[in-house]
């Protein structure tokens, strides 16, 4: 396909119409094109705004985590967590559901290494385990 836009004295497309056949130009992937005669306007440059990439850590998302244990009295008790960066990994910063103080991550006992749970403990002695639910959500017990 020969285009006149590649020639040195090629007419420029004005107001969205083809300079050859005066048909309407259609915006293709990179440039405007005439579907009737095949003219391509290569003078068009796409104005791309830089996209700010925000990670999940910097979005300041606060997660509401529901109780999913076996005690019915705690069914309506919620805890809140957000993601924070600790050295080279991302962990949850959990608030205690009982005293609303910040909790520190503690180690697992090693009895069930197949369980993907994360344990947290506050200064008052409360303990919370974050566990993944079957539907992919996170719960605590």
From first to last of its 141 residues, the chain has per-residue pLDDT tens of 444 444 444 455 557 889 999 899 988 888 889 999 999 888 877 677 777 777 766 676 788 999 998 999 999 999 999 888 888 888 889 999 999 999 998 877 666 655 678 899 999 999 999 988 888 888 998
Q: What is the pTM of this model?
A: 0.56
3-state helix, strand, coil in the chain (%, to 5): 5, 35, 60
pLDDT score for 12: 53
Residue holding tokens 């079957």? 134
Residue 102's pLDDT is: 93
Q: State residue 115's pLDDT score.
A: 65
Non-local (6+) Cβ contacts of 79 within 8 A are 64, 65, 67, 94, 95, 96, 97, 128, 140
């Amino acid at each position: 396909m020969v285009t006149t836009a590649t020639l040195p004295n090629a007419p420029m497309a004005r107001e969205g119409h083809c300079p050859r056949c005066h048909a309407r130009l259609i915006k293709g992937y990179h440039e405007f094109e005439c579907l009737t005669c095949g003219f391509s306007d290569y003078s068009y440059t796409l104005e791309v705004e830089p996209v700010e990439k925000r990670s999940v850590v910097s979005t300041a998302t606060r997660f509401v985590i529901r109780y999913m244990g076996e005690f019915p009295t705690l069914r309506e008790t919620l805890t809140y967590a957000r993601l924070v960066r600790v050295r080279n990994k991302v962990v949850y910063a959990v608030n205690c559901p009982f005293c609303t103080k910040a909790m520190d991550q503690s180690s697992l006992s090693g009895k069930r290494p197949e369980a993907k749970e994360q344990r947290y403990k506050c200064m008052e002695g409360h303990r919370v385990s974050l566990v993944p639910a079957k539907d992919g959500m996170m719960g605590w017990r």
